[in-house]
Amino acid sequence: MARDEVAGNFANFDPFRVPSPCYVIDIAKLEDNLRILSDVSAKADARVLLALKAFSCFALAEMIGGFLHGTAASGLWEARLGRTRFQGAVHTFAPGLKQDHLAELQTLSDHLIFNTIGQWKRFKPSLRMNDDCAFGLRINPRHSEAENPLYDPCAAWSRLGSPIPQLEGEDLEGLTGFHIHALCDQGFEPFDRLLGATEEKASGLLERINWLNLGGGQMITAQGFDRAALIGRLRDLRRRTELDLYLEPGTAVALNAGALVTEVLDTFWNDGHVAVMDCSATCHMPDVIEAPYTPALLGTETLDRAEDMDPRDEHVVRVGGPTCLAGDVIGTYRFDKAPKTGDRRLFLDQAYYTMVKTTTFNGTPLPSIALWDPRTDDVRVIKQFGYEDFEGRLS
């Protein structure tokens, strides 16, 4: 992805207009993404849900509700958030469900999706079968497309979904739909292959349901994604099967719509130039360590190869967070201008899988949250956290 594409409107944002650290959401870019998803939905005759596990900024629920059909929740609390803060339908799936959560989950959810056929059989007697909530089952097509095993639900010994062969001959009465999800920020071609494998392996099963949830992981709003092919594929599937179709993107909703403002706390030399920021990989951008990846930093070039990291160059700097974790390293960058204490910087594309994953490890403060509309240049800080938020998680 090109440097200018990632920076977007943030190339013109003044980081001193908000506290540091602070997540800043670009409302205009978010709306652009939502319009694209709404257009795909209309042309493909498929419903699109926001995956709350990736982005759950309910201050923007009204905007999101104007374009999408609802939310996809990963458990009781997200289902409650979807029902109370957002608009539209709530579809809930979790690999592990508790008996004492079922009644509320059924009340909150339009679709409640079970992980295995055994789970469905165990909980079925406790469910209100004539309620407005429809029940579904996650199926595992055992077709891997995710490159990183950490994000591959179809890997061996996976705990996600019932392998399709296990469902042959099973009594599926009461289940009206299936859910599949095996992509991670990928283009149309992996989606097409996944769907093809699912149709081939589950051909007899698809005749027994009314709806199919195709999960998320499709980078629908990214430049270069073949949206015309996606629309055509979904329309064809809908025509042949007459199934109601659902997509539940997360990353695609908030792609390039957020930045994390941070301040340089210290710079020094230790076999190379080092900068310590007031934001943390482990606390505020955990996918930097878990994925792993190096986030783009405005005004710098990301350096991934050791041969490009000349420690004698004052513009080549290893950047890390303020925690005691030795691995709290965000990345190595070549700065346009060597950083100094007090500088403010912006890490780009930080709207999804950031705010939903933050921790206060080491007593590290949580970043504030701000909304910015580049069309009017209006900035509004909507949330600031204090010591009480840290203490309140402990006892």
Question: How is residue 198 written in tokens?
Answer: 């699912």
| Strands annotated E in the chain | 22-26, 47-51, 70-73, 89-93, 111-114, 134-140, 162-163, 175-179, 211-213, 244-247, 258-269, 273-277, 300-303, 316-320, 329-335, 344-348, 368-373, 378-383
> Mapping DSSP to helix (H, G, I), strand (E, B) and coil, where does residue 183 land?
coil
> Mapping DSSP to helix (H, G, I), strand (E, B) and coil, where does residue 64 land?
helix
Alpha-carbon distance of 133 to 249, in angstroms, equals 22
DSSP codes joined into one string, 318-380:
EEE-SSS-TT-EEEEEEESS---TT-EEEEES-SSSSGGG---GGGPPPPEEEEEETTTTEEE
The backbone torsions φ and ψ at residue 114, rounded to the nearest 5 degrees and listed phi first, read -95, 155
Question: How is residue 133 written in tokens?
Answer: 């909530």
287 is in an annotated binding site: yes
Question: How is residue 73 written in tokens?
Answer: 């929740």
The residues pairing with 319 across neighbouring beta strands, listed in sequence order, are 275, 331
> Mapping DSSP to helix (H, G, I), strand (E, B) and coil, where does residue 134 land?
strand
Alpha-carbon distance of 308 to 202, in angstroms, equals 49
Answer yes or no: are the C-beta atoms of 20 and 370 closer than 8 Å. Answer: no
CA distances (Å), 348 to each of 11, 193, 248, 345, in order? 10, 31, 23, 10
Question: How is residue 353 written in tokens?
Answer: 């899988």
Instruction: Determine which helix (DSSP H) or strand (DSSP E) holds 80, and give its type and residue range.
Output: helix 76-85
Alpha-carbon distance of 129 to 135, in angstroms, equals 9
The binding site for substrate consists of 287
The binding site consists of 287
